[in-house]
């Protein structure tokens, strides 16, 4: 079988493994205060274009989302999210386990608008019994979204502007940040991200690392005591330097951006060829996740050789799946997949 189901089928980019081997017998202090972590922080500050940000390394996405959100909210506050947001549907209630409600907004493509956010906040504070409902205390968006879509720079600016108007932090889940920045139709850079939100993370797990997410805190008020939160939430890796080494490798020479672009190129090749064959798609995505709709009979046929991620039934005999490429997807596999889909007729 050839896997196109997600972007974490393989281990790590070989360069990362190489550096882990090279540094293996170095002795360092634990818990993220070693020279590799320090160096990785320096590099990340540089590629973000901001010397004033705090950088912390955590292990995985659910852990990172939970730690960040729990650190920002007061007990009676909730976090605004698209109904399809990862925190709302695929984290087994991790946010709620910290005591906070996810305040979900309708969304057809994974995105939410500045207008909808503002309307929600206004409605809350206009309520006479304001204390009887959860106070919106934070906004969560994912870039790219769980549907492969991305925000434009102007959309993101508008959202951030609403957040600043109400003094509510904006948090960007960047589990696939590189793929969003590499989107063919996108106009957002890492520096833009770092200047248009209060806290975000750069996903490593899905873009070349064995594991690891780099949280970047841009808002001074959110920096204080964040390491306590990491420790309490189980995210403070004893051998913290493993995270430092991986992020050093990813950002030293632009590797992160290169492999992100490669993944997106493969995905768009598949998308464009399928479009030409007449396939339609559930979402308009320019990133590494594509959501084509198959006749069930064709899907059964192609699934003998490839795995995709089931997404949803769209009619009695049609199904949308997610095809996912990654830093590890080979051009050979991409070409073969396209040929095999063509052969379905």
Residues 217-276 binding a copy of itself (CB under 8 A) are 225, 227-239, 241-242
Could you tell me which stretch among 99-107, 247-255, 270-278, 284-292 binds a copy of itself (CB under 8 A)? Answer: 99-107
Helices (H) and strands (E) in the chain, counts: 14, 13
Structure token pair of residue 332: 């050979």
Scanning 83-145, the segments in alpha helix (DSSP H) are 86-89, 94-97, 114-126
Determine the 3-state secondary structure of 324 from DSSP. strand
Could you tell me which stretch among 85-93, 105-113, 266-274, 278-286 binds a copy of itself (CB under 8 A)? Answer: 85-93
177: part of which helix (H) or strand (E)? Answer: helix 177-181
Which residue, 99 or 254, has its beta carbon nearer to a copy of itself?
99
Could you tell me which stretch among 71-79, 109-117, 186-194, 215-223 binds a copy of itself (CB under 8 A)? Answer: 71-79
Is residue 202 within 8 Å of residue 174, measured between CB atoms?
Answer: yes
Min dist CB 36 to a copy of itself, Å, is 11
Per-residue interface string for the shown chain with a copy of itself, residues 2-21, x marking contact by CB under 8 A: xx-xx-xxxxx-x--x--xx
Min dist CB 180 to a copy of itself, Å, is 18
Residue 91 in contact with a copy of itself, rule: CB under 8 A: yes
Selected from 93, 164, 272, 277, the binder of a copy of itself by CB under 8 A is 93
Min dist CB 255 to a copy of itself, Å, is 16
Between the alpha carbon of residue 241 and those of residues 56, 225, 230, the distances in Å are 12, 20, 15
Min dist CB 140 to a copy of itself, Å, is 15
Distance CA 135, CA 175 (A): 26
Min dist CB 156 to a copy of itself, Å, is 26
Distance CA 198, CA 264 (A): 27
Instruction: Give the total of residues touching a copy of itself (CB under 8 A).
Output: 77
Selected from 40, 54, 71, 194, the binder of a copy of itself by CB under 8 A is 71
Distance CA 305, CA 8 (A): 19
Could you tell me which stretch among 44-52, 63-71, 107-115, 284-292 binds a copy of itself (CB under 8 A)? Answer: 63-71
Is residue 307 within 8 Å of residue 2, measured between CB atoms?
Answer: yes
The footprint of a copy of itself on residues 125-164 (CB under 8 A) is: 128-129, 131-135
Min dist CB 261 to a copy of itself, Å, is 20
Selected from 161, 310, 342, 344, the binder of a copy of itself by CB under 8 A is 310
DSSP structure string for 40-99: HHHHHHHHHT-TT-EEEEES-HHHHHHHHHHHH--TTEEEEEETT-HHHHSSTTHHHHTT
Which residue, 20 or 338, has its beta carbon nearer to a copy of itself?
20
Min dist CB 309 to a copy of itself, Å, is 9
Distance CA 81, CA 170 (A): 11
DSSP 113: -
Contacts for 35-41 with beta carbons within 8 Å, 24 or more apart?
35/241, 35/244, 36/241, 36/244, 36/245, 36/248, 37/240, 37/241, 37/243, 37/244, 38/244, 39/244, 39/248, 40/214, 40/243, 40/244, 40/245, 40/246, 40/247, 40/248, 40/251, 41/244
Which residue, 238 or 343, has its beta carbon nearer to a copy of itself?
238
Min dist CB 49 to a copy of itself, Å, is 28
The footprint of a copy of itself on residues 193-212 (CB under 8 A) is: 205-206, 210-211
Residue 106 in contact with a copy of itself, rule: CB under 8 A: no
Selected from 43, 44, 48, 94, the binder of a copy of itself by CB under 8 A is 94
CA atoms within 13 A on the CB side of 89: 11
Min dist CB 151 to a copy of itself, Å, is 24
The footprint of a copy of itself on residues 28-47 (CB under 8 A) is: 28-31
């Amino acid at each position: 079988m050839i896997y196109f189901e997600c972007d974490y089928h393989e281990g790590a980019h070989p360069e990362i493994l190489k550096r882990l081997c090279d540094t293996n017998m170095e002795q360092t202090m634990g818990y993220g205060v070693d020279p590799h972590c320090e160096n990785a922080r320096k590099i990340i500050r540089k590629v973000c274009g901001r010397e004033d940000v705090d950088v912390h390394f955590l292990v995985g996405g659910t852990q990172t989302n939970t730690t960040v959100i729990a650190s920002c909210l007061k007990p009676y506050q909730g976090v605004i999210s698209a109904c399809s947001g990862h925190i709302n549907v695929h984290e087994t209630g991790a946010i709620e386990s910290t005591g906070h409600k996810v305040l979900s907004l309708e969304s057809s493509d994974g995105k939410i608008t500045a207008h909808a956010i503002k309307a929600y906040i206004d409605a809350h504070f206009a309520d006479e019994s304001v204390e009887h409902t959860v106070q919106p205390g934070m906004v969560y968006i994912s870039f790219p979204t769980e549907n492969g879509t991305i925000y434009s720079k102007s959309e993101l600016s508008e959202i951030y502007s609403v957040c600043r108007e109400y003094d509510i932090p904006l948090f960007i889940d960047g589990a696939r940040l590189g793929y969003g920045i590499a989107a063919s139709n996108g106009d957002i850079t890492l520096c833009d991200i770092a200047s248009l939100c209060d806290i975000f993370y750069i996903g490593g797990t899905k873009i070349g690392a064995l594991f690891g997410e780099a949280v970047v805190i841009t808002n001074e008020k959110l920096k204080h005591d964040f390491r306590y939160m990491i420790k309490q939430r189980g995210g403070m890796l004893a051998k913290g330097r493993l995270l430092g080494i991986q992020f050093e490798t990813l950002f030293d020479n632009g590797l992160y951006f290169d492999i992100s672009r490669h993944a997106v190129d493969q995905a768009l090749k598949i998308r464009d060829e399928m479009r030409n064959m007449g396939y339609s798609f559930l979402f308009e995505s320019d990133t590494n996740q594509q959501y084509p709709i198959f006749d069930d009979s064709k899907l059964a046929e192609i699934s003998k050789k490839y795995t995709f991620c089931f997404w949803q039934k769209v009619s009695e005999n049609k199904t949308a799946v997610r095809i996912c490429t990654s830093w590890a997807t080979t051009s050979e596999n991409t070409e073969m997949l396209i040929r095999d889909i063509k052969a379905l007729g």
